[in-house]
Amino acid sequence: MLQKIISLMENNIEIKFKNQKQSFEILEEEIRVELNTVKHKLKYNITLDDIKNSWHIENGIVDLKTMRLFASVSFNIFLIICCIALLNNAPTNALYILFLLSFLPFVLIVNTNKKVYEEKHIGSSKLFYFIYTKTNASEVDAFIKLVYKKQNEFYKKKFFLIDPVLPYNLQYERYIWLYNSKIINENEFEVIKEDLDKYFNFNINNIQQ
């Protein structure tokens, strides 16, 4: 089987496509990434707050090792056919035709390999992309959706609280941002704002007393 997707757990996804492999794991505050693709052989982590709400599609590139193998095979076949043709006193025009015919499969294979997959890139300061095919598109999209869900949970845990150190305005702006980003709803916003007002009013009154 040339390609398959394996979901190891809820927060993991592993993508295999021909001789390429990618694995992603969502941790508490970051994503562990391992790429073993035609373009990259890398391992690193991406923090959840480094992931942007944007994406784009790029075409996959040809596996150069495979293409070199096909080119070598095509060239050897051409040489064998030429030797046979020369031994049989074939005309020069026939050699040109044989050359084109022997390399036609190679050209078709290169063209096919360019179109069989795409890469879905998610906005980030680090590389964050998925091998994206018709077969695995739904699983990849579901995992990306889970990434954004975990990111929202991360932001809510980090900012949806009353910090005794930070000034009122900064905390209020955080709540506004959470609300505008649809991480919290209107009711949650009103509740936390009311609690913040009470907290600061209480402290101001105590200071005055």
Is residue 1 very low, low, confident or very high in pLDDT (cuts 50, 70, 90)?
very low
* Count helices and strands in the chain by DSSP H and E runs: 5, 8
Weakest-pLDDT range from 13-27, 62-76, 123-137: 62-76
* Average per-residue pLDDT for the chain: 84
Return the amino acid letter for 178. L
- In tens, the pLDDT along 29-84 reads 999 999 999 889 999 999 999 999 999 999 887 666 666 766 677 677 777 777 77
Q: Is the dihedral of CA 92, 94, 95, 96 positive or negative?
A: positive
The whole-model pTM stands at 0.73
Q: Distance between terminal CA atoms of the chain?
A: 76
Rg over CA atoms, the chain: 29
Q: Any residues with CB less than 8 A from the CB of 54 and at least 6 apart, and which?
A: 122, 123
Block residue for tokens 């090792």: 65
% of the chain surpassing 90 pLDDT? 57
* Nearest C-alpha neighbor of 156 from the set 142, 177, 125, 170: 177
- In tens, the pLDDT along 96-127 reads 776 677 667 666 666 666 667 899 999 999 99
